[in-house]
Amino acid sequence: MTLPAVLYLLINNYMPMFGTIIAFKDVNFTKGILGSDWIGLKNFEYLFKTKDAFIITRNTLLYNLTFIVLNTTIAIALAIFLNDIKNRFLSRTYQSLILLPHLISIIIVGYLVLALLDVKNGFMNKSLLPLLGMDEVSWYMETGPWPYILTIVNMWKGVGYACVIYLAAIIGIDQEYYEAATLDGANRWQQIRHITLPMIVPVITILTLLMIGRIFYSDFGLFYQVPLNSGSLMPVTNTIDTYVYRALINLGDYGMSSAAGLYQAIVGFILVMLSNSIVRKVDKDNALF
């Protein structure tokens, strides 16, 4: 019964793990991958000598940290709000509508951002900025706004999903706690601080752990597709994932590209282990494994 899935995971997930030896080889296709010469850590040396290595690491980490903090805070706040809304129909309507962006492919997101930011016809340049008496901006050429744009797009796409999970956790809290607190004279804010938030700590921990484990990975589409692969934006849009893709597809540099990929996988792995063991020390039940 388990055979199809076991085989699939073997091929799709385990075989590429052994393929990481490419990172230590001078890939030469006439000799084949196994026959290519070993060059030790040369690929990593080349990678870390470029200034790209610093930029892609910085971008990946800073964006992800921002996303984790911002999305988690907003999602929890919205979940609390949604739970407090008495009108069930409106509460459900809000919930459905904020979840919608999560279901759309990043290609469509690219279209939506373009409708707003297109230099010639975009809503920002044609309607909003003139209204505010400001000059047009060449959005796809100027790096300045992009850290904000990408953060907003990511929040737009991701908050609904996290919000629904937190909402489910909040709904699961036993109502008796709130009744007891009301009898003790606790106001709404005190109830949130002393009941709601502590009760959803396990869910917050698990979701944050999962995100920290992925902190060296980035949403390729968000950083490649939404800025429309614009070269002049690379200083603020290049992450490890887009770097690996470009090194592979545009330059055909298999060695350096897989060195960057392995760097990403190993640091990511260490981070999951580390954060999980920290959580284990604090509260064993909240750890992932």
Contact positions with other proteins (CB under 8 A) in 196-255: 202-203, 206-207, 213, 220-221, 225, 228-229, 241, 244-245, 248-249, 254
d(C-alpha 139, C-alpha 239), whole Å: 19
Q: Is 160 in the site for other proteins (CB under 8 A)?
A: yes
Q: How far is the CB of 261 from other proteins (least distance, A)?
A: 3
Asked if 111 touches other proteins (CB under 8 A), the answer is yes
* Residue 115 interacts with other proteins (CB under 8 A): yes or no: yes
Selected from 65, 104, 180, 274, the binder of other proteins by CB under 8 A is: 104
Identity of residue 189: W
Phi, psi of 4 (to 5 degrees): -55, -50
DSSP calls for 201-219: HHHHHHHHHHHHHTTT---
Is 178 a binding residue for other proteins by CB under 8 A? The answer is no
Say how many C-beta atoms besides its own lie within 10 A of residue 86's C-beta.
6
| Residue closer to other proteins (CB basis): 69 or 90 | 90
Minimum CB distance to other proteins smaller for 55 or for 119: 119
Q: How many chain residues touch other proteins (CB under 8 A)?
A: 91
Task: Answer yes or no whether residue 267 interacts with other proteins by CB under 8 A.
Answer: no
2 vs 175, beta carbon nearer other proteins: 2
What is the C-alpha to C-alpha distance for residues 246 and 118, in angstroms, rounded to an integer?
24
Tell me how far, at minimum, the Cβ of 55 lies from other proteins, in Å: 19
Cα–Cα distance for residue pair 122/128, rounded to 1 Å: 9
What is the rounded CA–CA span in Å between residue 151 and residue 71? 9
Q: Counting contacts by CB under 8 A, is residue 141 touching other proteins?
A: no
Sign of CA dihedral 111, 113, 116, 119: negative
List binders of other proteins among 68-97 (CB under 8 A): 78, 81-82, 84-87, 90, 93-97
CB nearer to other proteins: give 64 or 125.
Answer: 125
Per-residue binding string, other proteins, 24-43, x by CB under 8 A, is: ---------x----------
Looking at beta carbons only, is 61 or 102 nearer to other proteins? 102
239 CB burial (10 A radius; 0-12, 13-18, 19+): buried
At position 214, the amino acid (one-letter code) is R
Residue 58 CB, shortest distance to other proteins, in Å, is 20
Rounded CA-CA distance 173/195 in Å is 9
169/163 Cα distance (integer angstroms): 10
